[in-house]
Chain A
């Protein structure tokens, strides 16, 4: 039994280990920012399922790259951009979108499994694509991931307000002259990039825990358009960095730690949110004048 726990939580030589993976922690934090920010829009645009679909095609791209000896990050980005743009262009309505995703997703997963089956290299590489591998990501790849993350963050900050308008209130935004369709495609490209990056951390199967759960948790406790992304970022960063640090000692993949932390945060936010709803504490001022 002791073995079991020390495998999950081990802290011998922790300081030295921490130094070894400080780059990963830094990258993890930036990816947390990406996930937290983009998650807000994934939620308001109802794209959680799309994230899952994109991540499977990203997985196919990454495994193809692994098989053919190309850069895994490049393969992953290519796969997720292809999926994101397909979903963005073909699926403007939720119903269409879901069926397109449901068609793309198993196809991508199947391709990925095929490429991995043909791959003769280290099996840890294979497993990593599905369940995360940041600690084993080498430095040049790490800088690529960070560069992509910065692009996503800057892109989101630039289009934040019109994208919010187009996401929650598309008809009115269109009437006011906003390029709602173009914003949607631009967002899907940013989402594709973010997914490709997140896959390197938590793997294709668990991407939702970074790109959806933190934002969903934040929306349980606030409706402020500034506080929502801020909390979402904090939750995502805590999940990733906390997950990496807890995973260090044990020698297990980091993804279960990341997903568990992000899940627990969500549970707490749900409890807080429902308590607030029950007490009616939603910011409404008490009625002091009678309506005529």
Chain B
């Protein structure tokens, strides 16, 4: 599978990192990261705060320069963002009074880069309607988006990301501060989208459990190290103990993964966001 023939386009990696290294001063977040994400693949990026999950996303978006190595998107070096990317940010409620209805926000995902007035063509409207339909948001398509609940706004975000028909869906903690029902709904929508369109998914999260059944591979970042593999290969006591450099126990029970004994600041997966420190300082 190393030599690429023209016929093998479908399996050409969407995203490719080679020798990617990111360091701030003498603190190395990750070094020598080699990773190909193929169409339709669901990659979860896991690990505690301060290990460079967000920096990885920023590097893919061209907002963070690598210390060394390369990242390419669809065979070309990454630029400052791309229309091949659908981006689903952390839930961040829109300001009250924002002059957009749900369907207007979705339309920006299709044609927001074009000059001129925000007129929507029939063709764009059809794509917007289809995206809203697929996330189950048709009923509130015309509601001011800022008045929607957090879960509803996040559905609209997913619709916005998929309406642009991206080759790569970048998800930055999209389930944060959602209730369990919406966590499941949103992750299933993302999963369904990659199955339907073959878009690759890079999903940054501190809690793998809501997406455990969907993930093909895991990129686990901790302690300046990384591991790539299937969830079964990576989410094991030996692997994480090596990464954290201290005995860590991974318990899998009833389809959930819990990490116990990670040092302060690495914490248990579910409750990391409340820790301020990185836990990486000497």
* A287 to B138 Cα, complex, angstroms: 11
Binary A-proximity of B131-147 (CB < 8 A = 1, otherwise 0): 00000101110111111
The stretch of A9-17, A104-112, A159-167, A188-196 in contact with B is A159-167
12 cross-chain CB contacts under 8 A: A43-B97, A164-B112, A168-B99, A172-B109, A175-B81, A176-B109, A216-B97, A219-B97, A223-B146, A224-B99, A228-B99, A284-B143
- Secondary structure call for the A interface: helix
Q: Is A90 an interface residue (CB 8 A)?
A: no
Fill in one digit per residue for A271-292: 1 if any B CB lies within 8 Å of its CB, else 0. 0000000000011110100010
Q: How far is the CB of B95 from chain A (nearest CB, A)?
A: 8
Contacts of A53-98 to chain B: CB distance below 8 A: none
The yes or no answer to B210 lying at the interface (CB within 8 A) is no
Assembled-state Cα–Cα distance A292/B56 (Å): 36
13 additional A-B pairs beyond A160-B118, A222-B99, A284-B140, beta carbons within 8 Å, are A43-B97, A46-B95, A168-B98, A169-B105, A173-B108, A175-B87, A176-B81, A176-B164, A178-B81, A178-B113, A225-B104, A284-B139, A285-B138
A220 to B108, CA, bound (A): 22
Q: In the complex, which residue of chain A has the Cβ closest to the Cβ of B101?
A: A223
A contact residues around B144 at 8 Å (CB): 223, 282-283
A177 CB within 8 Å of chain B: yes
Nearest residue in A to B170 (C-beta to C-beta)? A175
6 tightest A-B contacts by CB? Answer: A223-B144, A175-B87, A165-B112, A177-B81, A283-B142, A228-B99
Chain B: minimal CB distance from A121 (Å):
44
How far apart sit A168 and B146, CA to CA, in the bound complex (Å)? 10
A176–B99 touching, CB < 8 Å: no
Please name all residues of chain A whose beta carbon is closer than 8 Å to the beta carbon of B115 when the two chains form the complex. Answer: 158-159, 161-162
Contacts of B95 in A (CB 8 A): 44, 46, 168
Q: Is A19 an interface residue (CB 8 A)?
A: no
CB interface residues, B 71-124, toward A, < 8 Å: 79-83, 85, 87, 89, 92, 94-95, 97-101, 104-105, 108-109, 111-119
Report which of B61, B118, B160 forms a contact with A226, defined as CB distance below 8 A.
B118
Give the contacting residue for B79; candidates A177, A216, A285; CB below 8 A.
A177
* A164-B108, A169-B105, A223-B144 known; A40-B99 Cβ under 8 A: yes
Interface secondary structure of B, over-half rule? loop
In the complex, A287 Cα to B95 Cα: how many Å?
Answer: 26
Q: CB of B246 within 8 A of chain A?
A: no
A291's partner among B113, B136, B160 (CB-CB below 8 A) is B136
Residues of A with C-beta under 8 A to B139: 284-285, 287
The A-contacting residues of B in range 123-168, CB under 8 angstroms, are 136, 138-140, 142-147, 157, 160-161, 164
Output the nearest chain A residue to B104 by Cβ-Cβ distance. A225
Interface string of B195-215 (1 = CB under 8 A from A): 000000000000000000000
| B63 lies within 8 A of chain A by Cβ | yes
CA distance A40 to B140 in the complex (A): 23
Contact of B100 among A158, A171, A173, A223 (CB under 8 A): A223
- Tell me the complex Cα distance, A218–B98, Å: 11
Kindly identify which residue among A176, A224, A284 contacts B113, using a CB–CB cutoff of 8 Å.
A176
The interface residues of chain A lying within 8 Å CB-to-CB of B143 are 282-284
- The reply on A22 being an interface residue by CB < 8 A is no
A175 CA to B171 CA, complexed, in Å? 11
A175 touches B61 (CB 8 A): yes
A164 to B120, alpha carbons, bound, how many Å? 14
Q: How far is the CA of A179 from the CA of B98 in the complex (A)?
A: 21
Contact assessment for B147 and A282 in the assembled complex, using a CB-CB cutoff below 8 Å: yes
- Asked whether, in the complex, the Cβ of B164 is within 8 Å of the Cβ of A162, the reply is no
Interface residue? A1 (CB, 8 A) = no
> Which A residues are in CB contact (< 8 Å) with B164?
176
What residues on B are CB-neighbors of A285 within 8 Å?
A: 138-140
Closest residue to A285 on the B side, CB-wise? B139
A171: contacting residue among B79, B87, B98, CB under 8 A: B87
Q: Mark A120-141, 1 if CB is under 8 A from B, else 0.
A: 0000000000000000000000
| Cα distance A291–B182 in the bound complex, in angstroms | 12
1/0 per position for A34-55, CB-CB distance to B under 8 A?
0000001001101000000000
Q: How far is the CA of A174 from the CA of B101 in the complex (A)?
A: 21
Q: Chain B nearest CB: distance from A218 CB in Å?
A: 8
Q: Mark A204-247, 1 if CB is under 8 A from B, else 0.
A: 00000000000010111011111010000000000000000000
Q: Cβ of A172 and Cβ of B101 under 8 Å apart? A: no
List of A residues within 8 angstroms of B157 by Cβ: 172
* A159 to B116 CA separation, bound complex (whole angstroms): 6
**Contact residues in A for B105 (Cβ distance below 8 Å):** 168-169
Residues of A near B85 (CB, < 8 A) are 175-177
Residues in B whose Cβ lies below 8 Å from that of A178: 81, 112-113
> From B160, which residue of chain A is reached at the shortest CB distance?
A172
Please name all residues of chain B whose beta carbon is closer than 8 Å to the beta carbon of A165 when the two chains form the complex. Answer: 108, 112-113
Give CA–CA (A159, B113) in the complex, Å.
Answer: 9
